[in-house]
């Protein structure tokens, strides 16, 4: 048995590159208490072995969210593991944009379910919406379905390679597609490159392949997309049939979400 403050001090010295806050969070998880309790009860003694196993995974580069099997998104907690991309705060901008732009009782399609965080957040915030979410990964859909049950969401999930299994039109399409060019994949941080699913990160050489597929399908009058750093010009080039009507920057000032409106059919 070891004192909590001794364990914290040990990893602050030895866990190079690991945020000390991550150590405190893992200690809180192991003890079943809050991080505030950890700070106030440093003299408590616990078995260090479970903490050591978790901290070693973090030292090796595994994302904290996968270790804990949960991530916060849009005020809710979602189950995550290495079958799905970890929800990012920037993607909340995508959900916000879709919430305010979806007409009343609209049919909404989320392309790329992942953990289900986008579709579930949309449906929970706008329960008038009929939300369908698709993903090529059956493994990811299992995670999304688990989260839908946990949040009592009526969002529907289906396996589909792009629009192959989807019929009809929608009032709005929303997507955080894979958008990293293949050549940039090797430059990603270790915890992203080595742990998160590659298919959710890069669609191919250009990075716009999935964006093009969504826009070329012309299945909705309004499309809301998350894009990568410096990618707005590329989206302009592939947006045949659509006009970019709004661009939303994230907190770092990066153009992160684009809203596109389809040209009227002639």
pLDDT for 163 beyond 90? yes
pLDDT (tens digit, 9 = 90+) per residue, 12-58?
888 888 999 999 999 999 999 999 999 999 999 999 999 999 999 99
Read off the pTM.
0.94
Domains of the chain, by residue range, sit at 2-60, 82-262
| Mean pLDDT value of segment 97-120 | 98
What pLDDT sits at residue 263? 82
pLDDT classification of 232: cutoffs 50, 70, 90: very high
pLDDT at 95: 98
Q: What number is the average pLDDT over the span 82-108?
A: 98
The confidence score (pLDDT) of residue 10 equals 92
Is 134 a residue whose pLDDT tops 70? yes
> What is the band of 70 on the pLDDT scale with cuts at 50, 70, 90?
very high
Report the pLDDT averaged over residues 243-255. Answer: 97
Reduced 3-state DSSP string for the chain: CEEHHHHHHHHHHHCCCCCHHHHHHHHHHHHCCCHHHHHHCCCCEECCHHHHHHHHHHHCCCCHHHHHCCEEECCEEECCCCCCCCCCCCHHHHHHHHHHHCCCCCEEEEECCCCCHHHHHHHHHCCCCEEEEEECCHHHHHHHHHHHHHCCCCCEEEECCCCCCCCCCCCEEEECCCCCEHHHHHHCCHHHHCCCCHHHCCCECCCCHHHHHHHHHCCCCEEEEECCCCCHHHHHHHCCCEEEEEEEECCCCCEEEEEEEECCCC
Mean per-residue pLDDT, 177-188? 96
Among residues of the chain, what percentage have pLDDT more than 70?
Answer: 99
pLDDT at 264: 63
Task: Summarize the confidence of residues 223-242 as an average pLDDT.
Answer: 96
Average pLDDT over residues 86-112: 98
Residue 211 — very low, low, confident or very high, per pLDDT cuts 50/70/90?
very high
Could you tell me what percent of the chain has a pLDDT over 90?
96
Q: Tens digit of pLDDT for each residue in 117-127?
A: 999 999 999 99
pLDDT at 266: 45
Q: Which CATH architecture has domain 82-262?
A: 3-Layer(aba) Sandwich (3.40)
The band of 152, judged by pLDDT with boundaries at 50, 70 and 90, is very high
Mean residue pLDDT of the chain comes to 96
């Amino acid at each position: 048995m070891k004192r909590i403050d001794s364990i914290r001090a040990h990893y602050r010295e030895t866990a190079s590159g690991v945020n000390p806050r991550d150590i405190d969070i893992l200690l809180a998880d192991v003890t079943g208490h809050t991080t505030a309790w950890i700070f106030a009860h440093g003299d408590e003694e616990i078995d260090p072995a479970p903490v050591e196993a978790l901290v070693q995974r973090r030292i090796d580069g595994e994302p904290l969210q996968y270790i804990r099997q949960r991530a916060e998104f849009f005020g809710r907690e979602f189950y995550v593991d290495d079958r799905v991309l970890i929800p990012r705060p920037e993607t909340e901008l995508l959900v916000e944009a879709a919430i305010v732009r979806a007409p009343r009782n609209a049919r909404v399609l989320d392309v790329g379910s992942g953990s289900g965080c986008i579709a579930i957040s949309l449906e929970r915030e706008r329960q008038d919406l009929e939300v369908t979410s698709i993903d090529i990964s059956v493994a990811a859909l299992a995670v999304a379905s688990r989260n839908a049950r946990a949040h009592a969401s009526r969002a529907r999930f289906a396996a589909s390679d792009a629009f192959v299994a989807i019929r009809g039109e929608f009032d709005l399409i929303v997507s955080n597609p894979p958008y990293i060019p293949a050549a940039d994949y090797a430059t990603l941080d270790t915890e992203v490159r080595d742990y998160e699913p590659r298919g959710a990160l890069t669609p191919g050489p250009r990075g716009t392949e999935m964006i093009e597929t969504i826009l070329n399908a012309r299945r909705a009058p309004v499309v809301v997309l998350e894009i990568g750093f410096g990618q707005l010009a590329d989206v302009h080039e592939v947006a045949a049939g659509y006009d970019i009507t709004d661009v939303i920057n994230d907190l770092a000032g990066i153009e992160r979400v684009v809203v596109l409106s389809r040209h009227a059919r002639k």
